Each structure stands twice: as C-alpha cells, then as structure tokens.
Amino acid sequence: MSATQVLGTDPVRPPVRRAATPGRGWGRVEALLTVALLGLYLGLGQWVVREVHVVGFTSLRRFADALHVVGEPLRAEQVLAADPTPLATVLTMPLTVVPGAVTSLAAVPVGSALAATGVVLALHRALGHASPGRLTHALLLLGIALNPLVLLYATSGDALLLAPALVLAAMACLDSYRRRGDLRALLLAGGALALASLADPRLVIVPLVLGAGIFLAQRRSRHPRVVAGAEGTLAALLSPTVALLALWAAVGTLLAGRPVAWLAAPGALRGPAGEGDLGAAEAWGQTVEALALAAPLVILVLVGLVVRSVRHHAPDAAVLAALLVTTCCLPALTAVVSGGAQVQVREAVLPLLVATAGAGLLLGRDATGRGGHAPKGRRLRRVAATGAVAVLLVTWPTTWHLMRTSEHQVLEAAFVRAVETGRSQEGALTPSGNRIGYGPEARTSRFLRDLDPGRRGVLVDPEVGYPVLVGTARPDWFRDHPGTAGWRAAALDPAAAGVRYLLLTADPASDRLAALHPLAAAGLDPSLRVVHRSERYVLVEPVAGAADGGWAP
C-alpha cells in the first residue's frame, strides 16, 4: 500500500469497491441474526440476573444514576460530572421509564444485550467484507458470540461491551473512509471514538494511537496534499474526543473544582474489587496469563499485522498492530498507574477479544483485496480462517477455566457455578471475598415501597444505598447528595431536617452516614429506632424528643 492510501491521507481517487454485502437476502440474515442474538442474550440475561442473582453492583449504580438524571434533570450535571462512564448512564436512561422493569431488575440486562448484539453484528458485517466462506463465517461469529466471557457480560447488565462496540464501529468507519474516501465515515469515526472515551475513559488512548499512526504515516509522505489531508483527517478524528473531554473537564471544574473529577471517581481506573497493592511484575504476569488462556488469537493477528506491515509497507496494519498492543497493555498499565488495582479478567480479555476480532477481519479483508483471489492467496486465507476458528473454539474451555479459577475477578466464577449447577448464587462468595446477591437490597426496597417514606424522606449515603434506590425506582424518596451542606446538616440532626428514615449499613468504613451514627446500626442509639433490618442494611427512624445518643463528629 502506498503512502497515499493510509488512514490519515486524503484519498486521491477512491478505489472501486467490491460488493460489500454479498448475496441476496443479506438483510434478512442480519435481521434473523439480530433477533436470535438479542433473544439469546435477553433470555439468558433474565435468568442470570433475576434467577441466579449474578449481577454486578456497577450495573445497579448506573441504573441509580440514570434514575436520578431522569427524576431530577436539573441535577443531572452533578450526577454525570462525577460519572466515569457517563455515556452508559445516559444510554441507560430510556430503560428506566418503566419502574416495574427496574425494580424487578428485568431492565438490567437489556443494555448489555444490545451492546453485545451490536458487536456481533458489526463483526458479521466485517466478515461479509472479508468473504471467508459461509461455514467459516458462521463459526467465527459463533466463536465470538458464545464465548463465555461475552456471554457473561452480555447478560449481566455490565456496560463493559459498550466501549469496545464503539471502538469497533469507529474502526469500521475508518476502514470505509480509507477504502472509499467516504467523509461521512470519517466524521462518524470521530464521533464514535469520542463516545467511546465517555464510555470508558481509558480508551482516550485509542484516538491518540490512531493520531500518532496518521502523523507518522504523514511524515513518510513528501506530497504536500497528503500532508494537508492528514491534518484534516486528524482534526476530524480527534476533535470530537478533545471537545467532549474538555467539556467534561469544564463541568468537573465548575461543579467540583476538579477538572478530572470523573476520572478520579471510584471505579474509573480500577476494578471494583481491588485488594491492595499490586506490583508491576505481578500485574503484567496476570495480563499475560489472562491473554494466553482467553485471547490467544491476538498473537496470531498481531503476527499477521506485523508481517503485512513490513512486507507490504502498510502503515494501516502497523497502526492496527499498535492499537492491539495498546489494548493488551492497557489493563496492566492501568493497574500500575492507579497504584494497586488488580488486573480483572474481563478488563484484560473482553475488549481485546473484540479488538482482535475486528483487526483480524480487517487484515483478512485487505489480504483478500491484495492478491487474495490468487490460488496461493486463497489457500493462505483458508488456512488463516481455519486457524482463527480453531483458536476461537479452543478458547471457550480455556476461558471457562480462567473464569472459574482466577482470583482477580468479579462475577466470573459465580456465573460459571450458576451455569454448571443451575442454582442461585445468592449469598455465595467471590474468589476475592465479596458476597454475591441482591436479596437484602430487594427486601429493604420492598419494605420501603410498602412504607412510602415520601419525598426526600430517606437519608442515605449514595455510595452504599444505590441498590436499594434501584429496588424502589423512586429517587425522589432519597436525600443522597453528600457533597451539599444540607445533607450533612440532615445527617447530624435528621428530625430537624424533616428526614423520616436513615438507611445505614453495618460498615462505617464505607458508609458516611453510619460513620456519623456508629451505634445506630446496632440499635444502640436511643435517638434512632430500628424499623427494618436485613443482612446488609438497617433502616432507622429518628425518635422525636430523644436525647442524642452518640454521633461521631
């Protein structure tokens, strides 16, 4: 490939495009595939979330935030400014319009199922361009769609697949721009990358890598038009990300005094189950282990990209390879940078799996276009496709094994146990020591629904009370803005502030309200009477006229 055909340049003359969507009835195939995948993920999701209770608290937190934004649009910026994945929250908002679906958690897997379906459809389209043959096509799709990790995060309501889906869309758009000079695709790619960085702040690195690739490719060209075109391409690709991040930083600065409040929010850069410091060597070791067991395909694709980059002087292959390497290293780098977080299986493997599949398909499609129809090319392509299918299928059991045995995970082992035994995981422990389940939250929510505490009637620390809020689907009942002076005043003197109930946990370390009333959860605070108790929550009521029994200053 000549220097004028790299991503960052202005295509001088768009090459003739091969038939992109082969055969008649392609639309019907896509529709069937969409319905089948959505049905599978949604059906399995209902079982996983509602029956066996394998649901992450990050999903519930997102639903709580979405309920807040919908219920109180004028406070939306306060919620979203500190949200590390605001896009996921915004996209969750439409799922909260039916309160019954929220309280029953039926709405929880919908978003993840849609994202996963989108990813598989995008791969299906890319496969259509690569034309690997129908059986290989189907097997490759199956290899991704039914991968255990994909299944888990397509069904448990997690937003982890959203960002890879957007990056995949951006890559497809860039590919379209590279081949056809379609400016719409370039602009859409810029938008998709910006949204991806709002879905996962770490993915800011993707447009940076792409930009660097374009810049380097441009430097190799001496043609002034190529240089000028690269500047335009870079601007179109990067400006949406820069603008959105600048906007977010401005909102953070204005509201919290910290431009990167969203980045510093809990869970932004580290997994939810961090367990102390982790050395760099251990982080890299975990990464390699996760990749070797769950995404070995990346090695094949990386080799292919490097060979193509060197043999054909293809800067776009080099850029893709750089992207893959970055994606490989991202979890470990994050762990090292954030000072001690673990490398989660899902964070190491899932995005990489999607990125690898996408890059592999682009590689296969380019190989088809460049002598791929010659006998030797056809044979090579067939071997590569067969190898990819074999690796993907072999990955299922190894991934299953990794999910079952890895210590650095959230819900993987619970999912594996649930599938193997068919039993609810309520109350089970994760390998990292967290208890699984939604029962206490559901019971407390049910009690509150029966109680009807009224507007702003329940004072709670949102860091611990959000699952209960989701169970009620009534954000207006809760007073949960700890950053405001009013919240602290109400916490210190609930009766005077018109608070009817305080929702506490037994853990003062993570609950600011429990820290202010350390005796209340145990029922030892005379000014606060316990009205409901579950395994994790205690609902107390201020006693009128009682002496203050002991709040901690």
Partner 1 sequence: MRTPPTPPSSPTAAPLTRCAVDPALRHLAPEGLCRSFSLVPYAEQDGRLLVAAVDAEDLVAAHVLADRLGRPVELVAHTRAAVQDALDAAYPPLPAAAETPQQQHQRERLGQVLLRNGLVANSALQAGYVEHLTYLRDADTADTADTADHPHDAGVALGEVLVARGAIEEDALVAVLSELHDLQRVSLAHTAPTPELGGLLPLELALRARVVPVAERGTQLVLAAARPLDPATLEELRTVLGRPVALVLAAAPEVERLILGVHQLELTDVARSAVTDRPAAATGHPGRLPGHATTSWSHRALLALLALAAAGALVRRPGPALTLLAVALLLGACLVGVHRAVLTGRALRPANTPERPGSDCADAAAPLEVDDDPAVPPGRLPRYSVLVTLRRAVALPGLLAGLEAVDYPRSRLEVLLLCEESDATVREAVAQTLLPAHVRVVVVPDSHPATPAKARNLALALTRGELVTVLDEADRLDPRQLRAVAARFAADPGLACVQARLQHDVVEGSPALVAGWAAGALAVRSGLWVPAAVDAGSAVLLGESSHHVRSAVLRQLGGWDPHSQTPGAEFGVRLRRTGHRVGVVAAATWSPAPTDLRSWLRGSAARDRGLLTTALAHVRAPRRLVRDLGVRAAADLVLTTVGGLGRLVSPVLVLGAVAWVALRVGDLEPGPPAVQLLGLACLVAVLGAALGSAYLVLAGTLRLRRHDLVRSALLTPASWLLLSVAPLLPRPGASGVGRPREVCP
For partner 1, the closer CB: 135 or 243 = 243
5 sits near partner 1 (criterion: CB under 8 A):
no
Total interface residues for partner 1 by CB under 8 A: 28
User: If phi over 0 gives left and psi between -120 and 50 gives alpha, with beta otherwise, what is residue 53?
Assistant: left
For partner 1, the closer CB: 81 or 349 = 81
243 sits near partner 1 (criterion: CB under 8 A):
yes
Burial class (CB in 10 A: 0-12, 13-18, 19+), 168: buried
For partner 1, the closer CB: 12 or 33 = 12
For partner 1, the closer CB: 81 or 464 = 81
Among 51, 231, 275, 493, binds partner 1 (CB under 8 A): 231
232 sits near partner 1 (criterion: CB under 8 A):
yes
Of 394, 400, 440, nearest in space to 418 by CA: 400
DSSP letters spanning 436-503: P-SHHHHHHHHHHHHH---TT-EEE-HHHHHHHHHHHT-GGGEE--TTSHHHHHHHHSTTTTT--EEE
Reported as type and span, the H/E element at residue 70 is helix 57-71
- Window 251-280: residues binding partner 1 (CB under 8 A): 254-255
452: Cβ contacts below 8 Å, ≥ 6 apart:
none
x/- site string to partner 1, residues 501 to 540, per CB under 8 A?
----------------------------------------
Stretch that binds partner 1, among 28-36, 159-167, 204-212, 231-239 (CB under 8 A): 231-239
For partner 1, the closer CB: 19 or 544 = 19
73 sits near partner 1 (criterion: CB under 8 A):
yes
For partner 1, the closer CB: 479 or 532 = 479
281 sits near partner 1 (criterion: CB under 8 A):
no
Q: How far apart are CA 84 and CA 92, in angstroms?
A: 14
Q: How far apart are CA 477 and CA 449, in angstroms?
A: 10
Reported as type and span, the H/E element at residue 193 is helix 183-199
205 sits near partner 1 (criterion: CB under 8 A):
no
Burial class (CB in 10 A: 0-12, 13-18, 19+), 376: exposed
Reported as type and span, the H/E element at residue 531 is strand 528-533
476: Cβ contacts below 8 Å, ≥ 6 apart:
71, 72, 455, 456
Sign of the Cα torsion 541, 542, 548, 550 reads: positive
80 sits near partner 1 (criterion: CB under 8 A):
no
Shortest reach from residue 452's CB to partner 1, in Å: 23
- Window 166-195: residues binding partner 1 (CB under 8 A): 180-184, 186-187, 190
For partner 1, the closer CB: 74 or 544 = 74
Shortest reach from residue 252's CB to partner 1, in Å: 12
- List interacting residues with partner 1 (CB under 8 A): 10, 13-14, 73-74, 77, 180-184, 186-187, 190, 225, 228-229, 231-233, 235-236, 239-240, 243, 247, 254-255
